[in-house]
Chains A and B, each alone.
Chain A
Amino acid sequence: MRIKVDGEKCQGHNRCFVAARELFELDDYGYSHEVGDGVVPPALEENARLAVANCPERAISIEEIGEA
């Protein structure tokens, strides 16, 4: 699973950061970006789904990349 934040849509609600601090980083203005390449460790997949579901801006997308 891989996540991506659309920087054009993010308005800094920080709901994703609260749902999954390991997966998102915030800039000085509170805008979010996925950590690294956005690949989600299996243990954090539920947190990633919650981050997507709670974003009021619908700014986060999720992509299943399957087993390597």
Chain B
Amino acid sequence: MDGTVEDWATDYDIFDPAYVKDPYPVWDELRQQCPVAHTERWGGSWMPTRYADLFNIARDVQHFSSRNVLVAPAGPPPEDAGAEAATAFQVGAPPITSDPPVHTWARRLLLPPFSIQAVARLEPETRELCRSLIDGFVDQGRADAAADYAQQIPPRVIAGMLGIPKEMAGTFTDWVQGFLEFGLTNADIRGEAARSIFGFLRERVEERKERPGDDLISYLLASEVNGRAVPEPHVLGTCFLLLVAGIDTTWSSIGSALWHLAQHPEDRARLVAEPELMPVAVEELLRAYSPVTMARVVTEDLEYNGRKIAAGDKVLMSFPAANRDPEKFPDADKVIIDRAENPHIAFGVGIHRCAGSNLARMEMQVSIEEWLARIPEFRLEDPDAVTWAGGQVRGPRSMPVVFP
């Protein structure tokens, strides 16, 4: 089972470099020949690739638990990783790692600050941020659209929401990559990242208890559930989620959108000429380049689509594959920038719909608008030089572009 994959239906490897770079042919093959694939790699898992199956499984929270949503083995952190990492493991990151009934109140707690109206209030400063980033490279005629732009936006936005200095953005990015990217297949790196994040957040929570502010940590500390303050470990776990979930996900989406636009002058021209098309275009880019794959844990032995799946088995929720299913989307492999009917599930479906979806959409829309306003013409310097991260979150990590 080591080495190159010969049969994707029985031995897929979501970290295979060729798959990370170009997963679409694999999904097409699996959807037709083995719509619920299996592998023993990375702790073993099942992977459905049809829209209908992802839709059904995501909504069946009784049989498919979210208690572990990482796509690679996530055992306890190493024993020497410290108390914070151990706490992180115990608390998880509610509500993404919660099932009902905890999920129900944990999610309600989080939804108001991420409502479409609340997020709209963050738009002006996000626009300002994008402009200042572009100022930094626009005169050079070239930039790394992933590292110099896409990667820089989400950590600063989430830092602002948490009331943390924006200078921490680079550190946040390192931590989140440690947890979700490099640490996904290495428990030591992941434990170290969790320890750093929890240690940092603990200090911030103590500060806000002393001096509450107009930020999400203070909001969570002041919130009540059934007449009682939200337990502090829960506040910490939710802050952990906000930090980890809102950074490389959105950065990947912005990066993939620019990767597409760099290669499609007709879509760029259309968006410049018809700016009102942007919300529809963002949905199509989300569909075609969905970044996030989550996992579920099967709660009891069951049979699904003829496959016997055992309690404790893991299912990889390949929302990106579902969104390319031609049974659901005509011309699924084509980006149709004005696709009007587009019920994609890039943010999942069912009770775990991404709580930050409005924020991600706003960041995508603003970052693309500002880029096109200043740099309407650009292309990849060398398409083969673009590097991609995959596994849990797929998107470009280095993407040199040139513009006149």
Hey, which chain B residues are within 8 Å of A30, CB to CB? 111, 114-116, 358
Interface residues of A in 1-60 (CB under 8 A from B): 11-15, 17-18, 26, 28-30, 50, 53-58
Query: By the criterion CB–CB under 8 Å, are B340 and A12 in contact?
Result: no
Hey, which chain A residues are within 8 Å of B7, CB to CB? none
Alpha-carbon separation in the docked complex, A56 to B351 (Å): 12
Taking residues whose C-beta sits less than 8 angstroms from the other chain, chain A's interface range is: 10 to 19
Residue of A nearest to B114 (CB): A30
Alpha-carbon separation in the docked complex, A26 to B351 (Å): 17
Query: By the criterion CB–CB under 8 Å, are B349 and A56 in contact?
Result: yes
Alpha-carbon separation in the docked complex, A8 to B283 (Å): 24
Query: By the criterion CB–CB under 8 Å, are A28 and B115 in contact?
Result: yes
Which of A13, A15, A29 touches B111 (beta carbons < 8 Å)? A29
Chain A: minimal CB distance from B91 (Å): 23
Q: Interface of B with A (CB < 8 Å)?
A: 108, 111-112, 114-117, 279, 283, 340-345, 347, 349-351, 353, 357-358
Which of B117, B342, B350 touches A54 (beta carbons < 8 Å)? B342
| Given A13-B353, A14-B116, A56:B343 Cβ within 8 A | yes
Which of A11, A13, A28, A50 touches B341 (beta carbons < 8 Å)? A50
Query: By the criterion CB–CB under 8 Å, are B112 and A29 in contact?
Result: yes
Chain B: minimal CB distance from A45 (Å): 14
Query: By the criterion CB–CB under 8 Å, are B108 and A29 in contact?
Result: yes
Chain B: minimal CB distance from A23 (Å): 15
Hey, which chain B residues are within 8 Å of A11, CB to CB? 349-351, 353
Query: By the criterion CB–CB under 8 Å, are A18 and B279 in contact?
Result: yes
Instruction: Show 19 A/B contacts (Cβ-Cβ < 8 Å), sorted by A.
Output: A11-B349, A12-B111, A13-B353, A15-B283, A17-B116, A18-B279, A28-B115, A29-B108, A29-B111, A30-B116, A53-B342, A54-B283, A54-B342, A56-B343, A56-B344, A56-B345, A56-B349, A56-B353, A58-B343
Which of A13, A26, A29 touches B347 (beta carbons < 8 Å)? A13
Query: By the criterion CB–CB under 8 Å, are A57 and B349 in contact?
Result: yes
Chain A: minimal CB distance from B239 (Å): 20
Interface of A is mostly: loop
Chain B: minimal CB distance from A16 (Å): 11
Hey, which chain B residues are within 8 Å of A56, CB to CB? 343-345, 347, 349, 353
Hey, which chain A residues are within 8 Å of B112, CB to CB? 28-29
Query: By the criterion CB–CB under 8 Å, are A14 and B349 in contact?
Result: no
Query: By the criterion CB–CB under 8 Å, are B341 and A54 in contact?
Result: yes
Hey, which chain A residues are within 8 Å of B343, CB to CB? 15, 53-56, 58
Residue of B nearest to A49 (CB): B341
Query: By the criterion CB–CB under 8 Å, are B357 and A13 in contact?
Result: yes
Residue of A nearest to B354 (CB): A13
Query: By the criterion CB–CB under 8 Å, are B351 and A29 in contact?
Result: no
Chain A: minimal CB distance from B92 (Å): 21
Residue of A nearest to B349 (CB): A56
Alpha-carbon separation in the docked complex, A56 to B114 (Å): 19
Chain A: minimal CB distance from B242 (Å): 16
Query: By the criterion CB–CB under 8 Å, are A50 and B340 in contact?
Result: yes
Alpha-carbon separation in the docked complex, A26 to B116 (Å): 9
9 new A-B contacts, CB < 8 A, other than A12-B353, A15-B283, A26-B117, are A14-B358, A26-B116, A29-B108, A30-B114, A53-B340, A54-B341, A56-B343, A56-B344, A57-B349
Chain A: minimal CB distance from B284 (Å): 11
Residue of A nearest to B115 (CB): A30
Hey, which chain B residues are within 8 Å of A17, CB to CB? 116
Alpha-carbon separation in the docked complex, A11 to B111 (Å): 11
Hey, which chain A residues are within 8 Å of B358, CB to CB? 14, 30
Residue of B nearest to A57 (CB): B349
Alpha-carbon separation in the docked complex, A18 to B351 (Å): 20
Chain B: minimal CB distance from A58 (Å): 8
Alpha-carbon separation in the docked complex, A50 to B351 (Å): 23
Chain A: minimal CB distance from B59 (Å): 8
Hey, which chain B residues are within 8 Å of A14, CB to CB? 116, 357-358
Hey, which chain B residues are within 8 Å of A55, CB to CB? 343
Query: By the criterion CB–CB under 8 Å, are B349 and A29 in contact?
Result: no
